[in-house]
Amino acid sequence: MSLPANSPGTSAAATTPKAIIGVSLKMYFGYQRSVDYCRHVAAIALTHPAVQSGYIELFVLPTLPVLPEAARILGAAGASAGAQDIFWEDEGAFTGEVGGRTVAELGGRYAEVGHAERRRIFGEDDRIIGLKTAAAYRNGLTPVLCVGELQQGSVEEAIAQCTAEIDGALNRAQSLAPAGRTIVAYEPQWAIGAPEPATPEYISAVITGLDAHLRDLPGQADSRVIYGGSAGPGLITKLDSAVAGLFLGRFAHDPKAVKTILDEAAARVGLLTGAGAGA
């Protein structure tokens, strides 16, 4: 496994990511299993040239009590950790909530907002999601803003629904805090937990529209759109280059699958050469 000969070096800080791979563990793993998982992923990241060079941006969102240890383990390997949710205020009388300031103090670099489960189970709407996005910006966190249509329809309908969700969140967020880089995770709700993801053609068409819309918004030129919703090994090789990467769930519970996806993401944009790609 090797990077192209004209690789500009191995400094992640000096490299613009060409692919983004994120994993949310939801509440599937307990504390020790989450820590062990992060150790396995860190070991993979530490020996993966595309991660070490900064070409692939890799992050894991564990359950919150694991965050400090996850941030330490992953950070030492060139990857990062974050939270699956944050509250919209940084401090105060909000029993049981955790603010973005605390997430940042714990070593988190990302904050997931607007996941379909939060919308459905906890009734979060565009106003709340916008407030949480602002809290992420305010505390130097990259929001992972989840959007996605409820029912499968046309590409045009999906783009219309998702751009409305993006605008609803970012318009409110940017009225409260300076805009920052955003990762939008396109997760059609009908594909979450399904045996198969949406078709590659559908994903590529929708994300092409969302990517153009997102990066035309004020302060969002460096933002990108990734795909989630039953994503796993083999998918990224079939997607258009407008799809910056994947937001993984249960199909990444085996760290070997993460290794495969990292190889596929690197090979797709020509970052791996020789027999190592996909090994």
- pLDDT for 18-30, tens place per residue? 999 999 999 999 9
**Does 9 score more than 90 pLDDT?**
no
Summarize the chain as % helix, strand, coil (round to 5): 45, 15, 40
- Identify residue 227 by its one-letter amino acid code: Y
Q: Which helix (H) or strand (E) holds 215?
A: helix 200-215
Q: Is residue 265 part of a domain?
A: yes
Catalytic residues: 115, 187
The distance from CA 253 to its chain's CA centroid, rounded to whole angstroms, is 15
Q: Is residue 5 part of a domain?
A: no
Plot region of 11 (φ>0 → left; ψ -120 to 50 → alpha; else → beta): beta
Domain count, the chain: 1
Q: Could you list the residue range(s) of the whole structural domain that residue 46 is in? A: 12-276
Q: Is residue 138 part of a domain?
A: yes
Q: Is residue 228 part of a domain?
A: yes
- pTM, rounded to two decimals: 0.92
Q: How far apart are CA 114 and CA 166, in angstroms?
A: 10
Query: What number is the average pLDDT over the span 62-84?
Result: 98
Tokens representing residue 19 in the block: 């692919």
User: Higher pLDDT residue, 279 or 130?
Assistant: 130
Write the CATH number for 114. Answer: 3.20.20.70
Q: How far apart are CA 123 and CA 74, in angstroms?
A: 32
**Which pLDDT does position 7 carry in this prediction?**
41
Q: How confident is the model at residue 195 (pLDDT cuts 50, 70, 90)?
A: confident
Q: How far apart are CA 50 and CA 3, in angstroms?
A: 7
Q: Which helix (H) or strand (E) holds 173?
A: helix 155-174
Q: How confident is the model at residue 274 (pLDDT cuts 50, 70, 90)?
A: very low
Q: Is residue 75 part of a domain?
A: yes
Tokens representing residue 41 in the block: 């992923």
Q: Is residue 3 part of a domain?
A: no
Query: What number is the average pLDDT over the span 102-123?
Result: 97
Question: Hunting for tokens 């909000």 — which residue is that?
Answer: 94
Report helix, strand or coil for 241. Answer: coil
